[in-house]
Chain A
Amino acid sequence: MEGPLALLVGCFFASAIYLMLSDSLIRILLGVTILANAVNLLIFTAGRIVKEVPPIIPEDAMVPPIATANPLPQALILTAIVISFSFFAFLLVLVFRTYQGLGTDKTGKMHMAEEPGDPVPPRGY
């Protein structure tokens, strides 16, 4: 099972990088999201795939009665999902405002912070 999943992680990384190389902010945003999912899937695969039951302890027991799947990668992924989700929400607002403020979503046309043709400092006094 690890083989196909590893390939899938590779595809995710490839498409994320392809999207992030784009000029359009929305595509970059989608790329960042896919990248986050690629990393999550990577952690999931690296944490070993097993055919065990989910790590939920029945109500009348204090310890799981049989072997269960490793819950830690899932906890890590859940944390990473929460973080990437909140970043996506923030970036969405930021990109939308940038689009409204600058009137463009093309990174090549965003020159507010860095003036094109960098002015050189004065040579004398």
Chain B
Amino acid sequence: MAESAGHAAVDVASAMVTAPIAPLDAIIVAPTLITLLFGAVLLMARKRPETQAPLGIAGLLLLTAATAGILARVVTGGPLTMTMGSWLPPFGITFAVDVLGASFALVSSVVALVVGVFASRGLRRVESRYGFYPFLLLMMAGVCNAFLTGDIFNLYVWFEVMLIASFGLIVLGNSKEQLDGAVRYAVLNLLAAAFFLTATGYLYGALGTLNMAEIAIKLREGVPGMPVNTITALYILGFGMKAAAFPVAFWLPASYHTPSPSAGAVFAGLLTKVGAYALLRTLIMLMPSEEALYDTFLTAIAIGTMLLGSLGAMGHSDFRRILGYLVISGIGVILAGLAIGTAEGLAGGIFYAFHSMIVMSALYLASGLIGQLGGSQDLRKLGGLYGASPLLAGLTLTLVFSVSALPPFSGFWAKILVTEAAMVDGRWWLAGIVLGTGLLNALASGRAFTQIFWRGGPSGTPDGAEKSVPGEIPGEDRAVLFGSLAALTLMSLVIGLWPSPLMRLAEAGAAGLLDPTLYIRAVFGGAS
């Protein structure tokens, strides 16, 4: 690199990328740049609350455009990579994005954008002053880059970026309930990250590399004497904890109902899905032989997760905690797709992840409006909100149908794929549980809907009694709040009516996981 006199020249071509990169390929770092720069500028502008929402929404809009650009580029031109600092892979940290990563990034940034718009009116003033938007942007830096990176240690780093920003979001407002929830959330997620890092340490010790493409090559060739069982088990434990899978899911319903609805919406929509994405990436792409070995185990986890989520949703009285359990139930369906492991099963799981991101975020936003109108989240104290806002009732009913995977909404097609894959694979009982928990979810969310909107007043009061609505949504906020909720609801409906584009993306993502040849060639071929 040194051209100046006095420094001996060395041949750098054996260690560094020398060919110039195409200008358009630079779009792969655009999400990193946008989220970090906007997050940092918003942090500096904390004292000016009036700049927060416009700047934050502008940043999220740019992020959505950038991820859409990456997806368009990846769909037409195959996986896109860049290795930071010009070091040749596997020496440098590689960003490598295939259809799976790009579509996850796009859906998550769309969800974050809508929630960002909602939050511009939905937040209490103290929260916007203490930095909802900076933390949201920094959290999106973690989320998006986790989807884009091609280096497993770098994935850990982005996980932690996401985590520390989400800590900031969960304690915003500083109520006692939030502190309590934040402690549970923080300690257990740190523990999960420690398991992830332990597994990565073993993996590095055994293979001497952290580059996902090279790990995939080496593990397909087989490494004698490698503790691959231990590593897989630790990854399943660590990512399973992040994704809120069955035996390690209890932190989620204990904490996700405490932050503001806007923060809850991004948490429920995005964070657990990053864990699910990491499971897909490590188990299917990096360690395919181990996935077959852990097949039964993963199936058991998936069944446990689905049942826990659905039964938990049946047994709770707080609307937002019910939603927390519904998130878990959705994770179970994604894990079922993962456990089946065929192209169709994986595509179903990935499709369900997209659906769950959109619908769960929308339900949390709806819970925010319900809380504002009804003054509570408790099913025992709510009632008669249909009279207060038929529009909210309609949107919530649509979302209830969608989360129960009824046609013609987005969840239906994903569940069809997973169920069919399970039947083809000869696991009719798994298909039965997927459908059965769908019924339980319909019961739980439908009962919540009828108790919140249809009955006259809370339990104890005579039915049909005039219900005075304690809260009100100011007229100037209505357009933004209902508009953003309606946008997510419409997305679910449109995906349900016209599923083929997203389904093609999910299928391409699953195919890329099962056969990473293109991914590997992009990482190593692009450099030479």
Contact = CB atoms under 8 A, between A and B. Distances in A.
Contacts of A62: 2, 7-10
A14 interface: no
B167 A90 contact: yes
B397 interface: no
Q: Contact size class for B?
A: 35 or more
B162 to A, nearest CB: 12
Contacts of B171: 94, 97
A42 B180 CA distance: 32
A125 B455 contact: yes
A55 interface: no
B463 interface: yes
Contact of A83 (B157, B177, B254, B458): B157
B451 A32 contact: no
Contacts of B178: 113
A20 B379 CA distance: 35
Contacts of A111: 180
Contacts of B463: 125
Interface in B448-474: 448, 450-451, 454-455, 458-459, 463
Nearest to A99: B179
A112 interface: yes
A31 to B, nearest CB: 9
A68 B458 CA distance: 73
Contacts of B448: 121
A97 B174 contact: yes
B40 interface: no
Contact of A98 (B180, B191, B447, B458): B180
Nearest to A105: B183
Contacts of B10: 62-63
B316 A91 contact: no
Contacts of B72: none
Interface in B128-162: 153, 157, 160
B202 A46 contact: yes
A79 interface: yes
A8 interface: no
A110 interface: yes
B204 A61 contact: no
Tell me what chain B mostly uses at the interface: helix, strand, loop, or mixed.
helix
B201 A46 contact: yes
B73 interface: no
B187 interface: yes
A98 B194 contact: no
A88 to B, nearest CB: 9
Contacts of B190: 32, 87, 91
Contacts of B197: 39, 43, 80
B517 interface: no
Interface in B421-465: 447-448, 450-451, 454-455, 458-459, 463
A77 B182 CA distance: 27
A63 B176 CA distance: 56
B316 A118 contact: yes
A98 B183 contact: yes
B218 interface: no
Interface residues of A, number: 45
B258 interface: yes
Contacts of B415: none
Contact of B201 (A39, A94, A121): A39
B181 interface: yes
B94 to A, nearest CB: 14
Contact of A114 (B186, B254, B447, B458): B254
Given A36-B194, A62-B2, A101 B317 contact: no
A108 B177 CA distance: 15
B249 to A, nearest CB: 14
A50 interface: no
Nearest to A75: B153
Interface string A71-105: 01100100110010011001100110110011000
Contacts of A86: 164
B390 interface: no
B7 A32 contact: no
A120 interface: yes
Interface string B311-323: 0000111000000
A65 to B, nearest CB: 12
B205 interface: yes
Nearest to B256: A113
Contact of B191 (A20, A63, A107): A20
B372 interface: no
Contacts of A39: 194, 197-198, 201
A113 B205 contact: no
A113 B187 CA distance: 15
B204 A43 contact: yes
Given A46-B204, A121-B317, A90 B164 contact: yes
A122 interface: yes
B380 A119 contact: yes
Given A102-B180, A114-B254, 4 more contacts: A101-B176, A102-B179, A112-B177, A113-B181
5 contacts: A36-B194, A61-B8, A91-B186, A110-B180, A122-B458
Interface of A: 20, 25, 28, 32, 35-36, 39, 42-43, 45-48, 61-63, 72-73, 76, 79-80, 83, 86-87, 90-91, 94-95, 97-98, 101-102, 107, 110-114, 118-122, 124-125
10 smallest beta-carbon distances between A and B, as pairs: A46-B205, A43-B201, A112-B180, A122-B459, A125-B455, A121-B317, A113-B181, A113-B180, A98-B179, A112-B177
